[in-house]
C-alpha cells in the first residue's frame, strides 16, 4: 500500500534559482509588454513577428524552468 510521505519545504540553491526564475519571468513579461507598447510602431515585418514570438515563449519557458527547479527541491515521494 502506498502512503504519502511528509513534504519538506527546505530551501537550497536550486530552490533559490527557481524562485529567481519565477520572479524574473513575471518582471520580463511586464517590461517587454511596456517596451512593445511604447516602441512597437517602429517594428515592421519579421522584427515585429520575432519580438512577439519572444514575448510569448521566453516567459513561458522561464516560468516552467523556475517551477521545475523550485518543486524539485521539495522532497516528497511515495513510501511503500
User: Which residues does 73 contact at the CB level (< 8 Å), separation at least 6?
Assistant: 10, 11, 12, 14, 15, 18
Q: Is pLDDT at 14 greater than 70 in this prediction? A: yes
Number of domains observed in the structure of the chain: 1
Q: Is pLDDT at 15 greater than 70 in this prediction? A: yes
Tell whether 67 is covered by a domain. Answer: yes
Closest C-alpha to 52, from 67, 63, 66, 37: 37
Tell whether 9 is covered by a domain. Answer: no
Tell whether 1 is covered by a domain. Answer: no
- Which has more pLDDT, 33 or 1? 33
pLDDT band at 51 (very low <50, low <70, confident <90, very high): confident
The per-residue pLDDT for range 18-46, each reduced to its tens digit, is: 889 999 999 999 998 888 888 777 878 88
Cell digits of residue 20: 529567481
Q: Is pLDDT at 57 greater than 60 in this prediction? A: yes
- Print the domain residue range for 42: 15-79
The pTM of the whole model exceeds 0.85: no
The neighbour count for residue 10, using CB atoms within 10 Å, is: 9
Tell whether 44 is covered by a domain. Answer: yes
Tell whether 3 is covered by a domain. Answer: no
Amino acid at each position: 500500500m502506498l502512503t504519502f510521505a511528509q513534504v519538506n519545504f527546505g530551501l537550497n540553491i536550486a530552490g533559490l534559482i527557481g524562485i529567481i526564475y519565477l520572479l524574473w519571468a513575471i518582471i520580463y513579461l511586464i517590461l517587454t509588454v511596456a517596451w512593445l507598447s511604447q516602441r512597437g510602431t517602429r517594428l515592421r515585418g519579421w522584427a515585429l513577428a520575432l519580438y512577439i514570438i519572444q514575448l510569448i515563449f521566453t516567459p513561458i519557458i522561464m516560468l516552467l524552468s523556475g517551477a521545475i527547479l523550485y518543486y524539485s527541491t521539495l522532497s516528497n515521494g511515495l513510501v511503500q
